Amino acid sequence: MLSAGKRASAKSTLIFMLLSLVGIALTVDFFWASSSSSSPSSSSPFLSNWAQEKNQIFVFSKPKIDNEKQEKVEDEAKKNNVPELELSGTFADLPAPELEWEQMPSAPVPRLDGSAIQIEDLLYVFCGYGTLDHVMCIPTSMSTISRLEIGLRDLRRQKRWRIRIWEWQVMEEDMCTSCLGSMALSARLLRWLFHLSSTRRRGSGRAFPHCRLLATQLWRGRLHVMGGSKENRHTPGTDHWSIAVKNGKAIEKEWRKEMPLPRGGPHRACVAVGDNLFVIGGQEGDFMPKPGSPIFKCSRRHEVVYGDVYMLDGKTMKWKVASPMPKPDSHIESSWIIWNNSIIIMGGTTEKHPVTKRMILVGEMFQFHLDTLKWCVMGKLPYRVKTTLAGLWDGWVYLTSGQRDRGEDNPQPKKVITEMWRTKLSFSCSPAID
């Protein structure tokens, strides 16, 4: 039997040993955690995945590319010093309300960089790319679709598109076009649009001073063309011209020089509302043709997408700067409607991914209030899409065609589509208070 003193001594020794073991374990765990945080490659997969889930960080899937391109991507990542784990797969999305979209009859053919005009309840869509390497032509026969129209009023009953050839034959046979300027105009002025798209040899219209991805709009009896890119397709142009038109014809012999745009570039929306003309979004830079290429190959150059908004005041004929879009947006030439004293912009492209430099599509609807000249995010589209073609009838907004994303978690462009969707507009969003 141990005496009381020896029992107390043994108990103290046991407690000391246990505390020492706990201290050693905590010390080892501390140094292990420090080593793991400073060396990501040594972290356990379980802990790494848990940390990503906890912080809602997602790894952006790298596209399958060849070795040369892979090296370029890695060099860009090192240059920008941006860790891949800090980039979300939905890099450019903004918080937006969910809208109820209803799918409608698809267009007969896919269309990218096309144009659209609405006349009363008829939405006309035309030209553009059928695929990424084939541009739509304006033929003299029905062998290729030259114009599509859909009656928005009777869409539920008819559930079909109408296909027609051009009645006026104003374009040269087999002339291929894309990225046309579009405008809100009367049926008689549809003819004028295509006179202006013709070559300089035609005498019935007045050819543009330059041919280049211009912003185009009919405003106060004059056709305005402006901005775009210069002849090399890359350098932004700020020039602005107008010409008087009446009954589908020019009533002046020459274009009149107007106040230049504060910032040039193509792929922007141009909207006339009352005494004001708005130019919204766009980009600086574009593909450039490779000199002497027998197959007309192009090379990509640096592009800057912006959300600038400029308003031409009809009283002073001077440009004013309005609030920029919620995020940079390009490829929105025919992606707008006017509703409830506001301009609504749908889809487009935004700034490129900071590491992969891939194009990122826009999946939101933006509303520009004409009374306050402020923006808000109105809602989400069915998918991210650029150069979608928009129309409005009886409170329903319609969109069709364009190039959509690769999926919910991948905002890069993929498929040129025929789909058509609509949603009922019932509310206006409120701009954020400055």
Q: How far apart are CA 173 and CA 386, in angstroms?
A: 29
- Which of 118-122, 233-237, 353-357, 425-429 tops mean pLDDT? 425-429
The tokens of 381 are what?
């589209």
Q: What is the DSSP string of 133-168?
A: TEE-EE-SSTTS--EEEEESTTHHHH---EEE--SS
**Close Cβ partners of 165 (under 8 Å, ≥ 6 residues apart):** 139, 140, 141, 142, 146, 147
Q: What is the mean pLDDT of residues 136-152?
A: 51
Q: What is the pLDDT of residue 306?
A: 94
The residue among 205 and 168 whose pLDDT is bigger is: 205
Q: What is the pLDDT of residue 88?
A: 57
User: Is it the case that residue 144 has pLDDT exceeding 50?
Assistant: no
Q: What is the pLDDT of residue 160?
A: 80
Q: What is the mean pLDDT of residues 135-151?
A: 49
The residue among 176 and 104 whose pLDDT is bigger is: 104
**279 pairs with which residues across the strands?**
270, 310
User: Is it the case that residue 287 has pLDDT exceeding 90?
Assistant: no
Q: What is the mean pLDDT of residues 195-212?
A: 48
Least confident of 157-166, 218-227, 264-273, 366-375: 157-166
Q: How many CA atoms lie within 13 A of 320 on its CB side?
A: 12
End-to-end CA distance of the chain: 83
**Close Cβ partners of 167 (under 8 Å, ≥ 6 residues apart):** none
Q: How far apart are CA 144 and CA 339, in angstroms?
A: 34
How many percent of the chain have pLDDT more than 90? 40
What is the Cα Rg of the chain in Å?
29
Residue with tokens 């797969």: 89
Q: What is the pLDDT of residue 191?
A: 44
User: Is it the case that residue 261 has pLDDT exceeding 70?
Assistant: yes
Residue 370: pLDDT band by 50, 70, 90 thresholds?
A: very high
The residue among 165 and 90 whose pLDDT is bigger is: 90
Q: What is the mean pLDDT of residues 61-78?
A: 47
Residue 406: pLDDT band by 50, 70, 90 thresholds?
A: very high
Residue 145: pLDDT band by 50, 70, 90 thresholds?
A: very low
**345 pairs with which residues across the strands?**
336, 366
Q: What is the pLDDT of residue 367?
A: 98
Residue 185 CA, chain-centre distance (Å), reads 24
How many percent of the chain have pLDDT more than 70? 60
The residue among 224 and 289 whose pLDDT is bigger is: 224
The residue among 2 and 219 whose pLDDT is bigger is: 219
At residue 264, the 3 state secondary structure works out as: coil
User: In 184-318, which residue ranges form alpha helices assigned H by DSSP?
Assistant: 187-196
User: Is it the case that residue 113 has pLDDT exceeding 60?
Assistant: yes
Task: Tell if the pTM clears 0.75, that is, is over it.
Answer: no
Least confident of 140-144, 204-208, 322-326, 336-340: 140-144
Q: Give backbone dihedrals phi and psi of 44, rounded to 5 degrees, phi first.
A: -75, 145
Q: What is the pLDDT of residue 90?
A: 61
Q: What is the pLDDT of residue 8?
A: 57
Mean pLDDT of the chain: 74
User: Is it the case that residue 2 has pLDDT exceeding 60?
Assistant: no
Q: How far apart are CA 404 and CA 424, in angstroms?
A: 21
User: Is it the case that residue 43 has pLDDT exceeding 70?
Assistant: no
The residue among 7 and 418 whose pLDDT is bigger is: 418
- Which of 49-63, 105-119, 239-253, 328-342 tops mean pLDDT? 328-342
Q: What is the mean pLDDT of residues 328-336?
A: 96
Q: What is the pLDDT of residue 12?
A: 66
Q: How would you label 294-312 residue by residue, b for 16+ Cβ within 10 Å and e otherwise?
A: eeeeeeeeebebbbbbbbb
User: Is it the case that residue 82 has pLDDT exceeding 50?
Assistant: no
Q: How far apart are CA 252 and CA 150, in angstroms?
A: 34
Residue 38: pLDDT band by 50, 70, 90 thresholds?
A: very low
Q: How would you label 184-216 residue by residue, b for 16+ Cβ within 10 Å and e otherwise?
A: bbeeebbbbbbbbbbeeeeeebbebeeebbbbb
